[in-house]
Every structure is written in structure tokens, then in C-alpha cells.
Structure 1
């Protein structure tokens, strides 16, 4: 369930930047122009005397050739051009050019800053700082090797300035990536806010996206129902279930996780948290105007021990009739105060939007349930009563017939058929009211009834197979049922098949429906099931037709979850 290759992952935070072909070509083109400009200036304006000039020209020529090769490979989208190799080569060129030229010229500084900018904008603070240190060390080592002046004050002053500028550039790159990650998280939260998935799946997906963004251990909510006063908790961990239902929790434990400052944002870093030089902190923020205030007392520290978290952040949350908090805990990294404020924004806007959608979905479901009940009552008063009257009339007619009447067998068949129709109508009425006749889910009951009707009316044996739990929610279940009905109807009405199969596979991220029918070796012409395709597209999926290995045609529908 975790978005392992998502932009929310820190290592892939700038994935669109270094995987976009236009961006890669732009960086490669700028690198090649800088290399060619440096080479042209070195040819027209001698860098150093004698062998030093020849060595500098040789280094610049080799680098320009490498930049040209990188540009060509970028045009063909070679994988290695999207990694960290080239900007590290740029940093290495800094030392090589100084060592070859014999003096600190402008070109090494240009390539150094270019390497730092590329690394920072693509990979953030860590890679930007790493490239900065690498470039500065090479710069100093090459300069000392050429000038033999280890303690020259100007050299160390330049190194300090380069480190300061490199750090500033890396910090700006980190802010750029953080903004991209936040935008991606908000976009993903808007995408999971879909009522057809049900509230359990939707909330689980939202909490998992939040956990993945903060690279945290767990993300959970603690809510108290305003009517009953009961507490419930919903928690997600890495590689957890796709739908984590809310579970009741002991009132004393819940109150321990809900501090007295119900409307404040919490930020806590333990004294033995991960990271060198990490200082313990327990701060609260009012969430509006004002700043962070130290929290007095042991309650936040005790909560950190209760959660077994070296660092955690929390924000107030109002969801439906419940009020409480959302928590993010981390054991392998330290969360920050900006993380806490961003979590408060998520709780106030994105999670509240999911609650509004869920409320509208419940209203629509209640209205649909009332409409189904009305239809069931009308069905009972009209069709069922009429068939019962027909059944009684046929029974009376068969009783009046003499034993030697040649129509007795036909009358008996009509009486039995009328009785079966009455049973089916009653089952349908009960199902419409949400009262399935047996322990089997009403979704499968409806599918098996459709398969039985195909056998009775058309002589087509339809096999129903289900792989995985079909916990899809009311609205998506109704759409899937209609797709399967349409597929079975198409097999019965438009083919000469005597056997068919319906296979439903439900994984964590995809629902796949396969409607299979034999064609007896005569492969049908290419076709597109319009109604099924339109329904699949409306659900965000797709439908396509393929030919199986055993003289069969398969209509596949894939719906992302």
C-alpha cells in the first residue's frame, strides 16, 4: 500500500525533475555550453605557461567530450544520465582544472557552482552539501598542490565563502523539493477522497500517504464520539492492510493520548532521539497567531514513552461526530516544527474534506436505501402478489383437470415456474431492502442469480470466481455488479458460447474483472464493449478485449483502487 516509488519518498522527492526529458536535456545543454565556452577561452586566452597550458587544454577537451557524450545519451534517454554521476563529475572537474592549469581561474568556480545548483535542485540539502564539501576539498587540495602554500589565508577565506554559498544553495534546493513533495501529498490526498472506496479504505489511504510523506513509523487518529463518549483509534504502519477499520480503545488510554491543550499543535523530540546533536524539545503551538511555546510538565514526555517514539507531532482533528487528534510518530528520524504545522494544515483541510465527502456519501446511501425499500414494497404489492395469484389460479386449474388430461404435465411445469419466480422476486425484494437471505454477501448472491438466469434462459453455463476480499463499498459494488451483468448479457445475446466465466481479482490497488467466453475456434472480429468501457472510464479505469490461449475471448476491466 505504501507509495514506494512515489514523489513522497525522500530519495525520489525530485523524481519528476530528474526523470523529465526536457529538464535533463536543458541541464545537459547548459553543461555542454559551459564546457565548450571554457575550452574556447582556454584556446584563445592562454591559461598557463608551457606544460600547464597543454594539460589544461587536455582536461577541458576531455571534459567537453564527456559533456557532448552525456548530451547525446540524454537525447536517447539513457538511464545513467538521470542519476548523480554527472554533477559529481562536474565537481571533480573543479580540482582537475586547477591541478592542470596551475592557478585558481574562474572556470573551476563556474563548474563548482553549476554542480552544487544541479545537485541541490534535484536531490535537496544532503546531496547539495555533499557536492559542496567535495568540490571545496578538491579545490583546496589542487590549489595547495600547485602553489605549495598550505597556510595561505586567501585560500581558506575562499573555501569558507564557497562553503557558505554552497550551503545556501543547498538549503534553497531543499525548500524547492519540500514544496514539490507537499504539493504531491495534497494532490494524492485529493485523489483518495473518493466516496466509492468507502470510509475505511479512504482514511487508510490518506493516513498512509501522510505517513509516507513524513517517513514516519506510524500515523494514527484518536477520536471521541460526541454522542456516545466512546473512543476509537485508526492506525496505519508501513506495509499494513489496505483498509484499517477504526477500533474501540480504552477510555483511560485514549485520554492519555489527548492532552489538555486540545486545540494546540504538538511537537516533541525525545532526549535520546535519532541523530547526532539532537536536543530534546516539547513545544506547543496555538495553531493561529503566535509562536511555539515550551510545554511545562512531563505529559508530552510520558506520551512519547507510551508511543515508543523518539519524535512525534500531533494536530487537532474534527472528523464527523468525533473530535480528537492525528499523530505522526517516527523512530528513525527527527520530525520538525514545520512538519507539525503542515500536519495541522492537512488535518484542518484535507482530512476535513474527506469527512465532508463521507457525510455526503452517507446521505446518498441513506436516500438510496429508502428508495430501494419503496421499490421493494411496490414490487411486493404489484408483481409478487400478481404472480402469487397466477400461481393459485394455475393450481386450481390443474386440480379441475382430469387425470387423463394431456396438459397435466405442462400445467405442473407452469405451476413450478410460477413458484420459482415468486421465490426469486421475494429474494430480490429482501435484497433491495438490504436483507440478504443467506450468509453469502448480497453482491455474490446477485451474481449467482444472474448466472442461473443465463443458464435458464439461454443455456449458458456461467462460472463465478472471486479472488480476494471484495470490500468495495456500496457505490463501487453497484457499478461493478452492473458491469458484470452487462458482460454476461453480451455473452448470452451476441455469442453462441455455451460456457462462460466471470473472475474478479481484488488486490490492494487494483480491481480486475475478466469475463471469459469460448468462441469454438472461430475468432470473432475486433470489437469494443461500449457500455462496459464507458462505465470503466467513469470509474477511472479502462476496459479492453484480448484473446485467450484456449479459443476464448476475454473482456478485461481494470479499476484502480
Structure 2
């Protein structure tokens, strides 16, 4: 799930959309040029050793030194240079220059506007408005303190103009950040659309990213299957599970959540105060074109009460054989028309693209299932029957051997190994035909069986350690299982280890597989597991080998989710 350090969060200083190192260096350079220019003008226009002149030179010299230090530190990419400190110092510098040299000088206004522009473009409306108000207040206080009298009327007029310009600049900065955040969201949704994770995980991730973008309390879809007429809902909330499968919902409840017309955008915003009447903002918009129109306020207000929402937006959604809506619900923040129009774009392009990818994946999976069924039949007719014959021959040989034969134990192990191979081959054939056993997930069962076989055949004790829910699609599960099997086989066949461990750690964004075996203090020569590395690369990940701290070798595989 997305956290507060998401690149879509406009309060994060290092967000790549608007606050990278190049921007920091450019701002530090502009700030240094401005203060050096102001200092040069003050030196050229120096008119005497008066107290005000000395104070102005002292303020500018001190700030020029501070800006020089900040410029050098920005080159070193220190953390504090990426925060809000410098533009707030610019605002304070404006007041200090007014207090030192008077309000007739133009440079205080230059630093005031520079602070507002930087705060607005990097942090949006809230920080831009905050810096504007504080800077103008400091400017007025410094001007009044300089004159030692009540400020002239034109000072308040100047303050009003500065506040208006500051608000406009902050609004433009907010639009810039919103555009960057929307671009980042669309890019993330394109990356989420990967069929190997399964449709449930893919849709959950897309809805969670959408919820996080709007800073909403929940995001969900209500869909009606065109064939069966049944309704299903898929909902995500902050801190929810990685996979939110659809759950069937009562038809009456679903129809209450699908107001007519179903092809229109919906926007509802509750009233700010009940004292001014129960009416809120209830609007609809035809996605194909047109303008915003007033909608049945009672219907949307009842739906807001059902969802416990201060505001919500909804867009039509077509997914496979189903039609319905996607909702974004905010319990505190008020959503707007621009939010609704952008949600319609997400539903029409990104979520629909996920459905198209899932359809193509199902077509490919059906074709692969037919091919696997044919291979399973061939496997049964060739390899399984041959191993059964080998097993029967070994059993007959054991019966013919005398009780005192020294090879009885070895023959017994061969019989057991042949029986295990027959069981494994039958499992392969059953899995290829799509017949999964009930009970424990087949992934965990297969790992435990592989570990038991390693103990029986090679005397290697394999510990299986799983951390986090292994919730991803069947295709990725099969690839991960094959990687683990290959790793266990390498430990058993190519090392003298008697103990090993397989650790699988699954987080929101990464699956990490560690295959750990002891080497008895004698480190093996550098090697690269080719088969595992190729499988990991095909999944968009990587494999590498490292040496542990306790005389062990660790094969690590990382697969991004």
C-alpha cells in the first residue's frame, strides 16, 4: 500500500515530479544571484555611514553568506536543503530588509515573491498561501516598526495587492503539482497492469493507488454481471489487504449504489453546515460530452449517508461482461469537479486496460491449458508408466534378495525414491489438467513435499519459512515454486550441506526468496545459478549470491510486485 512517502504526496520534498536535485540546485543558484545582486546595489548606492545604511549592508552580507553556504550544501545533496527552510528564510529576509533599509527598496518585494513562487511550485496551495500570509504580515510589521507610526493607507493597499498576487501564484503552483501527480498516477497504473499477478491483486493495487491519490477513505467498484445479473463489490481502504476479491452483494443494496443514469459522472458534496439547510452539491455529467447538471439531491444524499461520506465521486465502469461504477469516498475532504473528470479518465483508460490485459491473459491461459492437458496425457503414457514399471521391478528385486544381503537398505531407498518420483509425476499431470487438491494451498503443500523428499533422498533438512501473505496469480505462483524447487535441488546435488532453509518474504511491493545452505567454513567459488537467474529476469526481478555471517551461502531472488 501507498505510504506517506509516496511520490504522489506533494508534501514530500524529494518527490520526483517537482522536487528533484536539479530543481534544488537551480533554486539555490537563483537565490544566490539575487542576494549578491542586492548586495552589489547596496554597495554601489551606499550614501554614508548612517545607521540604516550599515544595517542594510549587515543584513545583506549575512544573508549572502547564508545563501553561499546553502548553495554549497545543495551541491553535497544534504537533506535540509530539500525542505521548506530556505523559502521561509526568504520570507523572513524580506521583513529584515524592510526593517533595515525601509520599504522604498525594491529588493524586499523581490525576495517576498521569490519565497511565494518557490513554496507554491514545490508544495502547492497550502504552503504557498501560508508563506504569502506570513510574509505580508512580516512586511507590514517591519514597515510600521520602521516609521514608528501607524502605517499609511497605501501600505495596506500594497499588502492587499501582495495577498492577491500570492494567492494567484499559489493556485497556479497547486495546478502544476496536481498535473504532475496525475501523470505519476497514470504511470503507476500502467505499471500495475501486469497479468502475472492475477486480476484480483492487480485491481486491488489499482484501486488502492486511486484511493491514495484522492486522499480518500475508501475506493470500490460495484459491478453487475451481464449474464447472471448478480452484483459484486470490490472495496479497498487504507491499511487493507494486498488482495481484495469481489464479494457478492444484495441486489437491492447494489441498485441503491447505482443511481441513474448509469452512464453519467456523479459528484456529491455535503453542506458545510446544517444550519444553512440540508442541501449539498449534487451534480451529474455526461462522460461523452456536455456540461454539469443538477441531479436528484435526495438520491445522492441518501447514498452519501449509506457510505458515511462527506463527499464522493463516481464514474461508469465497463469490465469484462459486467457494467457498474467505481466510487471514491472521502469522509473529511471535499472532492470537486476536476476530481470526478479525472476519475472518469482512470475508469475509461487505465482500469479498462487492466480488463483487456486480463482478457488476453485468459485467452492465452486457456490455450496453454489445452496444451498442458495434452502434455499430461503424454507424460502419463511415457514417463509415469515407465517409472511404475521401474518401481515394480525394484520391488521384485528386493523380494528376491536374501535377508542377509548387504544391499537391502540401498534397494529399499531406491524403491522409496521411485515411489516418490511416481507421486510427483502424478501431481504434475494432475496440476497440468487443472485438478488442484482441496485443503492446504498447493503451493505450501508442494514446498513441504519437496523438503521431505530432500530429507529422505539426500539427508538434507530443509526448513520452510514464509513471512507475509503469498497472494498472487497462478502464473507467478508456478514460477516461484519452480525457482524454489531448483534452489533445493542445487543444494542437495551440488553441496555437502546437511541443513538448509528457504525463506519467502512478501511485502506490498517485493517478493524476496532466500535459499540458504551451510558451507562449513569453506566458501565456494563465485557462481551464478543460471536457471534461477533467467527465471527471475523473466519475471522482472534479479537473482544474486551472497555469503552470510554464519558460514552459509545465500541465493537471493527479488521479484517486484
TM-score (norm 2): 0.92
Deviates more, 1:509-518 or 1:386-395: 386-395
8 Å contact from structure 2 (residues 8, 15) kept in 1: no
The answer to whether the 8 A contact 2:285-2:291 is kept is yes
Residue 108 of structure 1: how far off its partner (Å): 0.9
Partner of 1:332: 332
Provide the C-alpha distance between the structure 1 equivalents of 2:48 and 2:158, rounded to a whole number of angstroms.
21
Aligned partner of 2:137 in structure 1 is 137
Q: Partners in 2 of 1:286 and 1:523 — Cα distance? A: 68
Q: Distance in 1 between matches of 2:407 and 2:558?
A: 51
CA distance in 2 between partners of 1:32 and 1:277 (Å): 54
Q: Does 1:471 align with 2:471?
A: yes
Q: Is the 8 A contact 1:14 1:122 kept in 2?
A: no
Tell me how far 1:64 sits from its aligned partner. 1.1
User: Matched residue of 2:332: which SS?
Assistant: coil
Q: Is the 8 A contact 1:224 1:232 kept in 2?
A: yes
Partner of 2:383: 383
* Map of 1:119 onto structure 2: 119
Do the aligned partners of residues 315 and 18 (structure 1) sit closer, same or farther apart at CA in structure 2, a change above 3 Å counting? Answer: closer
**Mapping 1:442-481, distance limit 5 Å:** 442-455=442-455, 457-481=457-481
Partner of 1:527: 527
Q: CA deviation at 1:512?
A: 1.7
How far does residue 560 in structure 1 lie from its aligned partner after superposition? 2.4
Alpha-carbon distance change, 490 to 242 in structure 1, aligned in 2, over 3 angstroms = same
- Aligned partner of 2:247 in structure 1 is 247
Give, in whole Å, the separation in 2 of the partners of 1:104 and 1:278: 52
CA distance in 2 between partners of 1:88 and 1:411 (Å): 81
- Report if the CA contact (8 A) 1:198-1:473 is conserved: yes
1:523 CA displacement: 1.7
Answer whether contact 1:221 1:235 (CA < 8 A) is retained: yes
Aligned to 1:228: 228
Number of the residue aligned with 1:181: 181
Quick one: distance in 1 between partners of 2:501 and 2:403?
A: 45
The reply to whether residue 158 of structure 1 matches residue 166 of structure 2 is no
Instruction: Give the direction of change, closer, same or farther, for the CA distance of 1:191–1:371 in structure 2 (3 Å limit).
Output: same
Deviations 1:449-477 (A, max 9, x none): 43344445544343333333322211111
Change (3 A) 1:493 1:61: same
Return closer, same or farther for 1:520/1:395 CA change in 2, 3 Å cut-off: closer
1:510 Cα offset (Å): 2.4
Conservation of the 8 A alpha-carbon contact between 2:120 and 2:174? yes
Give a deviation string over 1:374-413, Cα, whole Å, max 9, x none. 11112222333344455666778889x6989979969985
Alpha-carbon distance between aligned partners in 1 of 2:93 and 2:13, rounded to the nearest angstrom: 27
Instruction: Supply the distance in 2 between the matched residues of 1:354 and 1:511 (Cα, whole angstroms).
Output: 22
Mapped to 2, the partners of 1:362 and 1:492 lie a distance apart of 37
| Residue 45 (structure 1) shift | 1.0
Unmatched 5+ residue regions in structure 2? none
Distance 1:40 1:404 in 2: 107
CA distance in 1, matches of 2:336, 2:271: 15
SS in structure 1 of the partner of residue 296 of structure 2: coil
Structural RMSD (CA): 2.9
Query: What CA distance in whole angstroms lies between the structure 2 residues aligned with 1:236 and 1:185?
Result: 17
User: Take 2:230 and 2:516, find their aligned partners in 1: how far apart are those partners?
Assistant: 49
When residues 496 and 56 of structure 1 are mapped into structure 2, their CA distance, relative to the original with a 3 A threshold, is same
Give the Å deviation of 1:360.
Answer: 1.6
Q: Hey, what's the Cα distance between the residues in 2 that align with 1:552 and 1:94? A: 62
Distance 1:250 1:55, change over 3 A: same
**Displacement of 1:419 after TM fit?**
5.1
Write the distance in 2 (CA, Å) between the matches of 1:402 and 1:16. 75
How far apart are the structure 2 equivalents of 1:70 and 1:416? 73
Bigger mean CA deviation after superposition, 64-73 or 343-352? 64-73
Deviation at 1:342, TM superposition (A): 0.3
3-state SS, counterpart of residue 362 of structure 2: helix
Task: Show CA shifts across 1:18-57 (max 9, x none).
Answer: 7522211111111111111101101111378822111111
Kept in 1, the 8 Å contact 2:14–2:82? The answer is: no
Q: Which residue of 2 aligns with 1:305?
A: 305
- Deviation by residue 1:154-195 (Cα, 9 ceiling, x = unmatched): 323322222222112111111110011101111111111111
Q: Is the Cα–Cα contact under 8 Å of residues 401 and 408 in structure 2 kept in the other structure? A: no
Equivalent pairs, count: 559
- Report deviation, 1:543: 2.3
Corresponding residue SS for 2:67: helix
Residues 330 and 402 (structure 1 numbering): CA distance in 2 closer, same or farther, change over 3 Å? Answer: closer
Write out per-residue CA displacement over residues 40-98 of structure 1, whole angstroms, 9 at most, x where no aligned residue: 10111137882211111111111111111211222222222211111111112222111
Q: Residue in 2 aligned with 1:359?
A: 359
Report the equivalent of 1:75: 75
Residue of structure 1 in register with 2:264 after alignment: 264
Distance 1:17 1:393 in 2: 69
- In the TM superposition, what whole-angstrom CA distance separates every residue of 1:95-151 from its partner, at most 9, and x where no partner exists? 211121134211111111111111111111111111112222222222233345646
| Cα distance in 1, alignment partners of residues 438 and 268 from structure 2 | 52
Question: What is the match of residue 128 of structure 2?
Answer: 128
| Residue equivalent to 2:31 | 31
Question: Helix, strand or coil for the counterpart of 1:298?
Answer: helix
Task: Report if aligned partners of 2:17, 2:181 keep a CA contact under 8 Å in 1.
Answer: no
CA contact (8 A) 2:143 2:151 kept: no
CA offset digits 1:397-435 (Å, max 9, x no partner): 889x69899799699857776555444433332232232
Cα separation, 1, equivalents of 2:45 and 2:410: 111
Q: Which moved more, 1:41-50 or 1:551-560?
A: 41-50
2:286 maps to which residue?
Answer: 286
2:461/2:500 contact within 8 Å kept:
yes
Q: Equivalent residue for 2:482?
A: 482
| Structure 1: stretches of 5+ with no match in the other structure | none
Structure 1 residue 197, shift from structure 2 partner: 1.2
Q: Which residue of 1 aligns with 2:199?
A: 199
Distance 1:176 1:424, change over 3 A: closer
TM-score normalised to structure 1 length: 0.92
Cα distance in 1 for residues equivalent to 2:279 and 2:148: 42
Question: Structure 2 CA distance, aligned partners of 1:72 and 1:130?
Answer: 28
Residue 52 (structure 1) aligns with:
52
Relative distance call for 1:192 and 1:33 in structure 2 (3 A) is same
Quote the Cα distance in structure 2 between the aligned partners of 1:176 and 1:277.
Answer: 36
> CA offsets, 1:255-302, max 9 Å, x none?
00001110100111011479x999821000001221110113411111
CA distance in structure 1 between the partners assigned to 2:211 and 2:473 by the alignment: 24
Distance 1:48 1:156, change over 3 A: farther
Q: 1:278 to 1:518 in 2, by over 3 A?
A: farther
